[in-house]
């Protein structure tokens, strides 16, 4: 299939482009490079031998978007493009709603006007809120989101569900990601947070490579085996593979379908820290600190629907996630330029 990948030079998008090419698809990337670098295209070419067509276009630019659709006959869209920093979304809700909602509406309209009827959307486990007990199942519905970022994911799920109800041709696969980490085993592409990272793995990676002094562990008094928060970490290459499976599913089905993408296993902050120590071969300093506001104790997926509908299950474990994260961070201390 010829696939428009919005946000395709970003963390998850770039890994998905590799898997799409390896599965025989024809990806075209659209990205405004707000949170990624043009250098990713060279890295993708080194990994796959293919120069992927690229448009530097903002989803808020309707004319630019129209041109991309006019010049290509897409069979499907995978929609990664969006802002994703939780704290920033609380401080700048208008910016987040405009980019993640208005930008997405522009995309959905362009798809409709050009007769493109398959979409895979990047949603998040954040739409469950703190309302349900893990393992989280799709049939639980959605909970109360705690920040504008999460609300933009919830709204996009609703919008695509409404669009699919009104258009019998449309197939929308709404993937709820758990915690994607790791990097491509080549060490050429990975996660590149701007400034000081908010999420656990990029933070540990910077401590392990000496760029930050220690990890702050946010709370050790949760109701979990070692008191620290438990999450479902998934290797980004597994997550990328899930998108290829979702495209095949979209080809054979119509309607909107919500699907968790996780491993089904929960790991605590300290378990991840110790796994990372094994990967990098030395101790990683940490301090126990107060809980982070808005955090929940435990969050992991019931991955059975992904297995049933997509035939998808993960192949990588925490060891590979830490190994690949460390390799990428060590080999690219400045990120990808
Ligand atoms: P990322 O920031 O690395 O990639 C997103 C890409 O979208 C970036 O390259 C950015 O430049 C681009 N972009 C942003 N706004 C744009 C716009 N208006 N027009 C064109 N391009 C734009 O993020 P990621 O980690 O790869 O996440 C991809 C998607 O998955 C996002 O929608 C994110 O919210 C979602 N998600 C991520 C996680 C995670 O932990 N990384 C978890 C759940 C869901
Ligand atoms: C966070 C977001 C979530 C988003 C997801 C992926 C919050 C409240 N939630 O999820 O909406 O979908 O990222 O982008 O921000 N931790 C530390 N020290 C750190 C960083 C994290 O101890 O420096 C702990 C956290 O308390 C948590 C675990 O590590 O228990 C994972 O944190 P993080 O990587 O930020 O992911 P989530 O909180 O699950």
36 lines ligand 1 (CB under 6 A): yes
In this structure, the residue with its CA closest to atom 34 of ligand 1 is 84
pLDDT of residue 157: 98
Residue nearest to atom 27 of ligand 2 (CA): 229
Q: What is the dihedral of CA 148, 178, 102, 19, to 10 degrees?
A: 160
Chain-centre distance of CA 51, in angstroms?
23
Whole-angstrom distance, CA of residue 329 vs CA of residue 336 = 10
d(CA 198, CA 139): 30
- Cβ–ligand 2 distance for 325 under 6 Å, the answer no
Reply yes or no: is the peptide bond before residue 185 cis, omega within 30 of 0: no
Residues annotated as part of the active site: 149
Nearest alpha carbon, ligand 1 atom 35: 122
Dist. CA 134–CA 112, nearest whole Å: 37
Residue 9 and residue 317: Cα distance in Å, rounded?
A: 25
Ligand closest to Cα of 261 equals 1
- The C-alpha atoms of residue 236 and residue 80 are separated, in whole angstroms, by 13
Q: Is the pTM of this model over 0.85?
A: yes
Ligand nearest to the backbone CA of 128: 2
Would the CB of 122 count as within 6 Å of ligand 1? yes
Residue 55 CB less than 6 A away from ligand 1: no
pLDDT tens string, the chain, 337 residues long: the values are: 999 999 999 999 999 999 999 999 999 999 999 999 999 999 999 999 999 999 999 999 999 999 999 999 999 999 999 999 999 999 999 999 999 999 999 999 999 999 999 999 999 999 999 889 999 999 999 999 999 999 999 999 999 999 999 999 999 999 999 999 999 999 999 998 778 899 999 999 999 999 999 999 999 999 999 999 999 999 999 999 999 999 999 999 999 999 999 999 999 999 999 999 999 999 999 999 999 998 999 999 999 999 999 999 999 999 999 999 999 999 998 899 8
CB 54 within 8 A of CB 31: yes
Distance CA 178, CA 124 (A): 6
Q: What is the pLDDT of residues 278-329, one digit of tens each?
A: 999 999 999 999 999 989 999 999 999 999 999 999 999 999 999 999 999 9
Residue 230 three-state SS: strand
pLDDT for residue 193: 79
Question: Which numbered ligand comes closest to the C-alpha of 33?
Answer: 1
User: Residue 180 CA: which ligand 1 atom is closest?
Assistant: 40
**Angle in degrees, CA 213, 291, 175, rounded to 5:** 95
Contact 233, 261 (CB under 8 A): no
The response to whether residue 176 sits with its C-beta less than 6 Å from ligand 1 reads no
Residue nearest to atom 4 of ligand 2 (CA): 126
Q: Is the CB of 156 under 6 A from ligand 1?
A: no
Q: Which atom of ligand 2 is nearest to the CA of 180?
A: 6
Of all ligands present, the nearest one to the C-alpha of 224 is: 2
Task: Determine contact, residues 257/174, Cβ cutoff 8 Å.
Answer: yes
User: Is residue 289 classed as helix, strand or coil in its secondary structure?
Assistant: strand
Residue 22's SS3 state is: helix
* Residues ≥6 apart with Cβ < 8 Å to 130: 143, 144, 146, 296
As beta bridge partners, residue 124 has 177
Encoding tokens for residue 38?
A: 């043009």
Q: Is the CB of 229 under 6 A from ligand 2?
A: yes
CA 296 – CA 150 distance, rounded (Å) = 14
pLDDT, position 17: 99
Residue pair 80/36 in contact (Cβ under 8 Å)? The answer is: no
Structure tokens at 144: 């109360």
Ligand 2 in contact with 28 (CB < 6 A)? no
**Residue 262 in contact with residue 125, Cβ under 8 Å?**
yes
Which residue do the tokens 């309302």 mark?
Answer: 131
Q: Which two tokens stand for residue 142?
A: 């959605």
Q: What is the pLDDT of residues 24-69, one digit of tens each?
A: 999 999 999 999 999 999 999 999 999 999 999 999 999 999 999 9
Burial class of residue 66, CB neighbours in 10 A (0-12, 13-18, 19+)? middle
> What is the residue whose two structure tokens read 């599965």?
23
The pick from 12, 89, 128, 179 for probing ligand 2's pocket by mutation, whose C-beta has the most ligand atoms within 8 angstroms, reads 179
Q: Return mean pLDDT, the chain.
A: 97
Nearest residue CA, atom 6 of ligand 2? 179
CB 15 within 8 A of CB 321: no
Determine if residue 63 is left, alpha or beta; phi over 0 gives left, psi from -120 to 50 gives alpha, anything else beta.
Answer: alpha
CA separation for the pair 255, 250 (Å, rounded) = 9
């Amino acid at each position: 299939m010829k696939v428009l990948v919005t946000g395709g030079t970003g963390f998850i998008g770039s890994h998905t482009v590799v898997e799409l090419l390896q599965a025989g698809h024809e990806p075209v990337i659209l990205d405004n490079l707000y949170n990624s670098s043009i250098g990713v295209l060279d890295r993708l070419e080194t990994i796959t031998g293919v120069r992927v067509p690229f448009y530097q276009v903002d989803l808020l630019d309707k004319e630019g978007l129209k041109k991309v659709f006019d010049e290509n006959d897409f069979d499907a869209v995978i929609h990664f493009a969006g802002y994703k920093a939780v704290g920033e979304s609380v401080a700048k809700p208008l910016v987040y709603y405009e980019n993640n909602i208005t930008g997405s509406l522009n995309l959905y309209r362009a798809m409709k006007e050009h007769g493109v009827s398959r979409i895979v959307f990047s949603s998040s486990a954040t739409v469950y809120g703190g309302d349900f007990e893990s393992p989280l199942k799709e049939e639980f519905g959605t909970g109360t989101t705690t920040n504008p970022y999460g609300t933009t994911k919830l709204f996009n799920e609703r919008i695509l569900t409404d669009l699919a109800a009104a258009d019998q041709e449309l197939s929308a696969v709404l993937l709820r990601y758990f915690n994607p980490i790791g990097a491509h085993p080549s060490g050429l592409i990975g996660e590149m947070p701007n400034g000081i990272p908010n999420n656990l793995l990029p933070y540990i990676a910077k401590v392990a490579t000496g760029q930050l002094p220690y990890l702050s562990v946010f709370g050790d008094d949760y109701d979990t085996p070692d008191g620290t928060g438990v999450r479902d970490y998934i290797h980004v290459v597994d997550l990328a593979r899930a998108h290829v499976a979702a495209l095949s599913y979209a080809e054979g089905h119509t309607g909107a379908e919500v699907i968790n993408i996780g491993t089904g296993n929960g790991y605590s902050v300290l378990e991840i820290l110790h796994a990372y120590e094994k990967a990098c071969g030395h101790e990683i300093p940490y301090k126990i600190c107060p809980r982070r506001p808005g955090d929940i104790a435990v969050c992991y997926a019931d991955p059975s629907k992904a297995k049933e509908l997509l035939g998808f299950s993960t192949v990588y474990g925490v060891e590979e996630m830490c190994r690949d994260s460390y390799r990428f961070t060590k080999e690219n201390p400045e990120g990808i330029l």
